[in-house]
Amino acid sequence: MTGKDELSGPFTQRFVAIGDSFTEGVGDIDPSSPNGVRGWADRVAAQLISNDPSWGYANLAVRGRKLQQVIDGQLDAAVSLNPTLVTFYAGGNDILRPTVHLDVLMERYRWAVERLVETGGRVVLFTGFDSGKAPMFKATRGRTAIYNEAVRKIAADLDLELVDFWHMKQLQDWRYWDEDRLHLSIEGHILMAKETLRVLGEKDEIELPEMEEPPIKAIHQKVYAEFAWTKDYLAPWIRRRVTRRSSGDELDAKYPTLTSKIW
């Protein structure tokens, strides 16, 4: 049995993940995990701990958070954990709003990244996904491209590592996406975990998922699928925007303190 001290440290290496649903792991359904999801960050942490048991891990990300909410609710907590590695992705939910001032957004983003850099830890950034082939979100593709250029400039200026989500073209295969068409599926999170480990230069023993060919659907099946998606996912998403509610309003961070026990 693993002892309490082994679960709570002290850890000589500390991985802290901050952000929104992407980093929380929404889409990678796992009832045994906190908040019912696992995700790429948890999978990266599990591999790091497998490679070297001196790693501790905290995941402060909560679904639905906009950039300022991530800064207000997660940045100080992340800094207080004295990370040796921190992953930062935020701003995607801002881009999806009806209006967004991208210059102001990215000024705040740079400020947050600089604060993380001041910890002396290794900071990894992410570009946004190329939504050009996503019917619901292709209208925001231009915004994401501008966001990505700013992220790349910040990474270059501060000599940080970058996971380039935009250029992971294999994720244009919609089998890597959850039924809601907004979040990565289990297979997508596995692919993202492997890419993050590659960027980190860490040993990766995560097996690639086996992908089944999607069944060919008749016209009436496609129509029904669109109706079901609209009712189950699009309508609730729009309702939350109108009422200014978030899917993460009642949720807390999955792993608010450092641990080596990843459920």
Position 123 scores a pLDDT of 98
Lowest-confidence range among 119-123, 134-138, 225-229?
Answer: 225-229
Residues above pLDDT 70, as percent of the chain? 81
Dihedral angle sign, alpha carbons of residues 184, 186, 190, 193: positive
Please say if the pLDDT value at position 131 is more than 70. Answer: yes
For every residue of 65-131, DSSP letters joined together read --HHHHIIIIIHHHHHT--SEEEEE--HHHHTSS---HHHHHHHHHHHHHHHHTTTSEEEEEPPP--
What per-residue confidence (pLDDT) applies to 10?
81
Sorting pLDDT into bands at 50, 70 and 90, what band is 240? low
- The count of structural domains within the chain is 1
Q: Which domain holds residue 125?
A: 4-259
3-state SS, 231-248, equals HHHHHHHHHHHHHCCCCC
pTM score: 0.86
Please give the Cα distance from 79 to 88 (Å, whole number). Answer: 12
Mean pLDDT value across the chain: 87
pLDDT number for residue 6: 46
Tell me: pLDDT of 135 over 70.
Answer: no
CATH of the domain at 160: 3.40.50.1110
